[in-house]
Amino acid sequence: MRIRYVFKGTKEELKLNPNVGTFSWFLHRITGLLLLFYLFTHMWVLGSANKGAEAFNQRLSAVQTPLFHFLEIGLILVIFYHMVNGLSITLMDFANISSKHKSLVVAVVLVFAILAIVSLSVMLPRLFAPHISTGGLA
């Protein structure tokens, strides 16, 4: 019940307040949850890999696939967004510059874009030429 209430409410809020603030908050929450999910899976993968050399190699090769590289790109974008937006919220509170919300949103988008471009320029080639990167890592 409660869960349905939360989902319905969130949907409603997004619909009634189609503002930057609502979306960035929503995204922040989603990315936070994704990170949480990632962190646990990550632990689990590492934990299960930590059972001798063979298990390690097997686990690693299982994730060294185009699909996982693709997900990695997603992960890094999620991290960047959560990080940049989170820092901006912290800054907003501590420095009390809330009257400059618009400029901060622009800054968040810019910083996020720069980080994204830089990391994509490193990661995209890896996605299309898996042999290079696996070779490098393995």
Partner 1 sequence: MSTTTFKIFRYDPDDGRDPHFQTFQVETVKGMTLLEALYWIMEHKDPTFAFRSSCREANCGSCAMHINGSYGLACRTQVDNLKPPVVIRPLAHLQVLKDLVVDMKPFFDNLKAIKPYLIPGDDPPEKEYYQSVDDRKKIDHHVDCILCGSCYGSCPVAYGDPKYLGPHALLKALRFVDDSRDGATDERLAIVASEFGVFRCHTIFNCQLVCPKDLNPTGAISKLKNKIVVKKFPFMKPFVRT
Q: Which residues bind partner 1 (CB under 8 A)?
A: 6, 9-10, 12-13, 16-22, 24-25, 28, 89, 92-96, 98-99, 101
Residues 107-136, interacting with ligand HEM (CB under 6 A): none
Burial of 117 (0-12, 13-18, 19+ CB in 10 A): exposed
Q: How far is the CB of 38 from partner 1 (least distance, A)?
A: 22
Using H for helix, E for strand and C for coil, what is the string for 69-138? HHHHHHHHHHHHHHHHHHHHHHHHHHHCCHHHHHHHHHHHHHHHHHHHHHHHHHHHHHHHCHHHHHHHHC
According to the binding rule CB under 6 A, does residue 87 interact with ligand HEM? yes
According to the binding rule CB under 6 A, does residue 33 interact with ligand HEM? yes
Q: Which residues of the chain form contacts with ligand HEM (CB under 6 A)?
A: 25, 28-29, 32-33, 35-36, 39, 82-83, 86-87, 89-90
